[in-house]
Structure 1
Amino acid sequence: MSLTKQEILNTQQMLVTTPEKWDVVTRKSTGDVALAQLVKLLIIDEVHLLHDDRGPVIETLVARTKRQVESTQSMIRIVGLSATLPNYPDVATFLNVNPYTGLFFFDGRFRPVPLSQTFIGVKSVNKMKQLNDFNTICYDKVLKQVREGYQV
């Protein structure tokens, strides 16, 4: 469903969008300022994807939101969500989170199914051989888990 700008401005509900679409809306310096100023809470799901293709877009949105807070003196809460975020202190610093009052981290004890990690080294120097070795090892590990009745 697509709403007009006026319909969005008239609503007191929630706007759900992709980071890319919100980037387009907030990138414009004029026109959509009223829409951007309605935001009081920015929730970034899968915040661990900062290193992924979406990373620069997410970083831009956070920087733009921080700049908006500074220039308008109106608070916008930024919440980052991730099921797997080993570097949560770094992300908290990036989001300007007070680690004592605003950082909530739930370790493996809160998971319904425990996770395990295995580290495997590949010594190949040749990049193609290295990629092939990674794929072979990954395939063998996945196949073993499936044969033992586990999900992968």
Structure 2
Amino acid sequence: MLERIERGDLWEHAQPDEAIERAASDVLGRSPSWSPEVDIWGHDDETCLTMVREGGRVVEVLLRVDLRSVQRANLVRLLDGLQQARVLLIDEARQLHEPTLPAVLHALKTSRAWRYVQDPRAFIASLSDPEGRD
């Protein structure tokens, strides 16, 4: 983990390298989109990469990793492509991570989704924690 990043336009000063699109196409395959400004690779209910544009400019890139369906070799290939594009990943807690398998697995294992899968009752109980610890 590198550091925490605050909200803002993450693509304000740079646009993603086409290596991201190549890697996503090679590993996940392109999928139909509901909008001309949204590109999707993979399936939105499984592992997928979504790139959102406004006025032709990328404003958001989302990577969803579904551990139920992703194959380790494909995840490594996708992460290699993201490394070639020289990007960092930001998890739900706004922490930065290198696009490597150990970093992604760490982020996944500290995610809310992972906690839910491990113990749904405890996770749901934590949502009503008066201390706000979630």
Q: TM-score if structure 2 supplies the norm length?
A: 0.31
Q: Choose 1 or 2 for highest CA Rg.
A: 1
- By relative contact order (CA 8 Å, sep 6+), the higher-ranking structure is 2
Of Structure 1 and Structure 2, which has the larger fraction of its residues in helix?
A: 1
Of Structure 1 and Structure 2, which has the larger fraction of its residues in strand?
A: 2
